[in-house]
A = this chain, B = another copy of it.
Amino acid sequence: MDSRKVGVLGGGQLGRMLIESANRLNIQVNILDAAGAPAKQISAHDSHIDGSFKDGEAVRQLAKSCDVVTVEIEHVDTHMLEEISSDVTVEPHWKTLRIIKDKFAQKEYLKGHGVDVAESVDLEGKSEEEFKDVGRKFGYPFMLKSKTEAYDGRGNFVVKREEDVGGARKLFGERPLYAERWADFRMEVAVMVVKTRDGVLTFPTVETVHEDSICKLTYAPPRKVTRETAGKAQELAKKAIAAFEGKGVFGVEMFLLKDETLLVNEIAPRPHNSGHYTIEACPLSQYDAHLRAILDLPIPESGLRLREPAIMLNILGGRAPDSHVKIARQALESPNASIHLYGKGDARPGRKMGHIIVTAPTLSAAEREVQPLIDAVDNQKGKPLGPRETEEKREEPLVAVIMGSDSDLPVLRPCFQILEKLEIPFTTRITSAHRTPDWLREFSKKAGETSVRVIIGAAGGAAHLPGMCASWTTLPVIGVPVKATHLDGVDSLYSMTQMPRGEPVATVGINNSTNAALLAVRILGATDLEVRERLRVWMEGNEKEVLWKDGELLEKGWESYLKMMGK
C-alpha cells in the first residue's frame, strides 16, 4: 500500500490501536517504548526500538528508521522533536505539541485564537496571598491545575475554600500551576478532529462521563443534547484545532454549560479515549484517520459518520489483580459488546486495561445492554447498591402524542395502551393550535432534533393541531379526528385529510386512536425489524381471537352466542 514507515513515541494502548489500523494497510510502524509494550505485541518486526520516548538518543534512532514520526502522548521532549524535524516529518508539528503539553499555554493560545475556554490565571511562582486573590476573584470552588504532566485527572485539584489554599500549594510542590474558574457544566462533550493537508474534519460529538477524573463512559450520540448543540460543539472543536500547525487527529474535550454555551476544556494532540468508539461505530476509526492524515492519504468525510449509536466503557484496574478480567469476561455475554484488552501487565487501580464498546440500533438499546457492565464496575469499586441514576431514567420517546386539550385524553387512552403493549416509548403533551400557537410551533420545530420519530395529534372541531404541526416539522404526523359536540367528527376528519398539497397528515378514523398508535408502530417497524416482529405477533393474536370466536359461533349457534354477549 505504502512503503513509508511511521515511527511512534510511545507504545501503549493508543499506539496499539494505531498499529491495528496500520496492519490492515500493511504499513510498517516502528514503536519506541519498553520491550513488550502493548503496541509492540501486535507488530512482529525488528525495527522497533526498546527504550524510553524521553531518551533523546532513542528518539534520534527512531527518526532514522522512518519517514514520519508521530506521538501517542503529548508529554514528550519537544526540543528533541524540533531537532529531528530537520530530517524527518513530525506530525503533528513540534510547536503544536509544545503548546499543548503546557495546559496553561494551551489555553492562552486558544484564547488568542478566539476560542472560548474557561477563564484562567497563571500562578507559577506566585505567593499564597496571590493564590487567595484568585479565590476572591473566581469565588470558591476553583480549579488548581498543574501546567504540565497532567492527564487522567492527575494534576487537578478542587480548591473548595480559602483554608485549603495552603494545603493545595504543598500538595503540588514545585510544579508550575495555574487556576481556572469553576465551570458549572451540565455535561462534558468531546469531538475527535482530523487535521489533514487539505483542511479540518470532525467525527460526531460524544458525551463523556468522568469518574475520579478519569474517563469512564462515552455516549455517541450524546444524551439530551440537540443536534444544533452537537453541531456547535463540532464547529468549536474545528476552530480550536484549525489554530494549530500539523496533521493528525486531536481530541477536543469541552464543557457544555447549563445555558448551552460551550467551552474548550482540554486538547489532546493524538488519538483519544473519547474516540475509541469510532473503531466499531464509524466506517473510519480515529486510528485510520490519524494514519491517513499524517501520510496524506485520502479521508472521505462521510467515512467519519456514526454507523450505529455506541457506548464506550473503560475497563480500569481494580482492587484485585484480576478485577478487569472479570469485567471483560462478563462482557463476553453481551451480544453487542466488542472487547478490547490492551495487553498490559499489572493492573494498578485506575490503570486503563481495556475498554468495551456496545453498539445498537438505538442509544436506549445500547444503554440497556451496557448497564449490567456499569453495575459490575460500580460494584467492584464498592459503590453502594440501591437506586442508580440510570434506573430512574425513562427511555427516550420515539412517539410524541400531542392533543389540543385535556378533553381529548379519554379518546387517546387506547392509543397509550397499544404503545405500552408494543413497548414503544412515548411522551404526551398538550399543545393547542389556537390557545398556545407559539408553544406548538416551538414543539414542532424542535421535535425532529429529539429522539421522536413520529407525532400523533388528536383534536376535535377545526382540529388544526396536526396540520399546523406538520407544517413545522419534517416528521410524519398522524391525525386522530375527535368527535366533538357537533358534526360527529366529520369536521375534524375533513380538516385533517384535506391538508393542502405539501404538508400531509396521515389521518385515521374518527376517535380511532388505536389505529393511530398502530400506524405509528408500522412507521417505526418500516426500518426496525424488531418492532415489526412485535406487531406481527400482536396481529396474529387478533387473528386467533377472531378465528376462536368464529369457532364458538359455529359450535354454539347464534342464539346462545347472543345470549353469551348479553344481547
- A residues whose Cβ falls under 8 Å from a Cβ of B: 1, 20, 23-26, 40-45, 283-284, 292, 297-298, 300-303, 305, 307-308, 325, 328-329, 332-343, 359, 414, 448, 453-454, 474-478, 481, 493, 497-499, 501-510, 512, 514-516, 518-519, 522-528, 532, 535-536, 539, 542
Contact = CB atoms under 8 A, between A and B. Distances in A.
Given A303-B336, A337-B283, A518-B503, A476 B523 contact: yes
Nearest to A448: B532
18 contacts: A292-B332, A298-B332, A300-B334, A303-B337, A307-B359, A474-B525, A474-B535, A475-B522, A476-B525, A476-B526, A481-B497, A493-B497, A497-B507, A497-B509, A497-B510, A498-B510, A504-B519, A506-B507
A300 B505 CA distance: 42
A516 to B, nearest CB: 7
Contacts of A477: 522
A334 B300 CA distance: 7
Contacts of A498: 509-510, 512
Contacts of A453: 526-527
Contact of A332 (B297, B509, B523): B297
Contact of A519 (B26, B338, B476): B476
Given A336-B302, A498-B510, A504 B518 contact: yes
A23 B20 CA distance: 10
A340 B497 CA distance: 53
Contact of A41 (B23, B339, B475): B23
A320 to B, nearest CB: 15
Contacts of A336: 283, 302-303
Nearest to A453: B526
A23 B17 CA distance: 11
A505 B512 CA distance: 11
B532 A519 contact: no
Contacts of A307: 307-308, 359
A36 to B, nearest CB: 8
Contacts of A340: 24
B359 A283 contact: yes
Contacts of A504: 508, 512, 515-516, 518-519, 522
A502 B308 contact: no
Nearest to A493: B497
- Among A336, A519, A526, find the residue whose CB has the most chain B CB atoms closer than 10 A: A526
Contact of A343 (B23, B297, B341, B525): B23
